[in-house]
Amino acid sequence: MGNLSSCFTGSSNTTHDEDVLPDETFTASSSGISGTTTSGKVLFSETSSSGNSGYSFGDNPSFGETIKLGPSGEILERPNLRVFSLAELKSATRNFKPETVLGEGGFGKVYKGWIDEKVAVPSKSGSKLAVAIKKLNSESMQGFEEWQSEVNFLGRLSHPNLVKLLGYCLEDKELLLVYEYLPKGSLENHLFKRISSMEPLSWERRMSIALGVAKGLAFLHCSERQVIYRDFKAANILLDANYDAKLSDFGLAKLGPSGGNSHVTTRIMGTYGYAAPEYVATGHLYVNSDVYGFGVVLLEMLAGLRALDMNRPSGQQNLVDWAKPYLSSKRRLRTIIDPRLEGQYSLKVAFELAQLTEKCLVSNPKARPCMREVVEVLQKIETIEDKQKENTTNSKRSTSANSERSGYHRRFPYHRNGILSQSQ
C-alpha cells in the first residue's frame, strides 16, 4: 500500500473522518500498555500477555450488537481474539529468522510460524498449527493505526472469504498480528511471477477466485454500517490449499458514510493503479470505490498483466487506460486476453466478464454496480460455463457412441438381421 496523496479539500454531503481513529499515543506502564487519544480518551488497555482479549474499546468503530448475515457471515460486537506474548511469537518464528519471512511491505514483514494447535482450536491438542505473523513497524504512527484497524475490523468480521485473524501482540512497543496461514500465497504471485514450479492459474480457477473475493466484498458492504476495504488489489488476495480466495490486510479499512451522506472524506491512501479516480482526485471515499478496485483486479485476471507496469510500451503502462476500450468489442477482446488461457474459455463467457469489468471501471462511482450485483453476474457466468461443460460432455458421449457404432459396422460390413456374415 502507499500514500497516494495528502492534499484534498472537503465538500458538502460528506462525513469528515480523517481516519478510523483520531490521533493517538500509547505508553507502557507497570500495569500493562494503554492507548489514548490526544483528548485523553482511552482507546484500549491490555493487562495480560495471554488468554482472552483484554481490550476496552473507546472511540473505535462500532457495529452495534453481534449481527449474523446469512449462513456464512457474521459481525461480532467485539473482537474475539487471543492475546499472544512476544515470547510465544519469537518461539513460533525462531526469533523471527529471515528464512521464515513470507513477504514484506510498507507495514513491515510477515513471517511463517508454528503455534500449539490447542491454542487456536481448543478441541485439538498435541500438534502445531502453521500461522502467518505480521510484525508491523512500531516506530511509525501509521504502523500503529493499521495494527489497530486490523484488530477493530478483522477481529470482528467472520466470513469464508476473509482471512481469519487469530490474535495479536502489543508488548514492549512491538506490534504483531497472528493470522491463519494460507499456503498458496497471493493472487499477485500466481498471476505475475513466472516461477517454473508455479502453474499458471486456469480460467476456471480465476473465475472461482473472482467470485470468492466478490462475496467477501459484498459481505463488507452489506452491513448497516458498511465497511469500505480501501486497498483492494491482487497482493491482498490470498489463496488457501484449495485456491479458495480470502481478503487480507484491513489496515486501511474504514466505516462507510452515515447520516444520509454519500461518502466519507479521508486521507488519500491505497495503491496506485487500483485506487478509484474520484478518491485520488478529491479524497471522497464511496462504498463503490471498492468496486473500481475490484474491476482493476478482474482486468488483471483477464489479461494476465499488472495494473501498472512501467516496462510496458508507452500507452500500455496503465492497464485500465490501455485495455478498457477493448472490453466493449468481442473481436478486440481476444487480443488482450492472457495467452496462457488459450482454449480454456468461450468468447461468450469472456465477453460477459469483460462487460462486467467495464461497468466496475466507470468513472462515476454511483454508476458502478454494487458488489451484490457483481456476485449475481459472476454466478450467472458460472452457470453459463457449467451448462457449456455439460453440453460438451454430452456431445462427446454422443460422438463416442456414434463412433463406436460406426466402427462396428465398418468392421463387419455384412451385418444383416442381427447375424454377422463371414462372406466378403
Asked if 149 and 165 touch (Cβ cutoff 8 Å), the reply is: no
Residues counted in the chain:
424
Asked if 186 and 178 touch (Cβ cutoff 8 Å), the reply is: no
Q: How many CB atoms lie within 10 A of CB 416?
A: 8
Known binding residue 118? Answer is no
What number of CA atoms fall less than 13 Å from residue 347's CA on the CB side? 9
Q: What angle do CA 347, 378, 212 make, to 5 degrees?
A: 125
**Strands in 281-383 per DSSP E:** 284-285
Active-site choice (17, 231, 249, 338): 231
- 3-state class (DSSP) for residue 73: strand
- 3-state class (DSSP) for residue 134: strand
- Copy the grid coordinates of residue 160: 469464508
Antiparallel, parallel or unpaired: β 14-16 and 263-265: parallel
Active site residue 244: no
Asked if 415 and 421 touch (Cβ cutoff 8 Å), the reply is: yes
Pick from 88, 140, 133: nearest CA to 112: 133
Beta bridge partners of 134: 110, 177
Return phi, psi of residue 58, to 5°: -110, -100
- CA of 276: how far to CAs of 63, 99, 270, 306, in Å? 25, 36, 10, 16
CA distance 28 to 144: 14
b/e 144-170 (16+ beta carbons within 10 angstroms → b): bbbbbbbbbbbbbbbbbbbbbbbbbbb
- Which residue bears the cell 496462457? 340
Binding-site positions read 135
Binding-site positions for ATP read 135
- Report the catalytic residues: 231
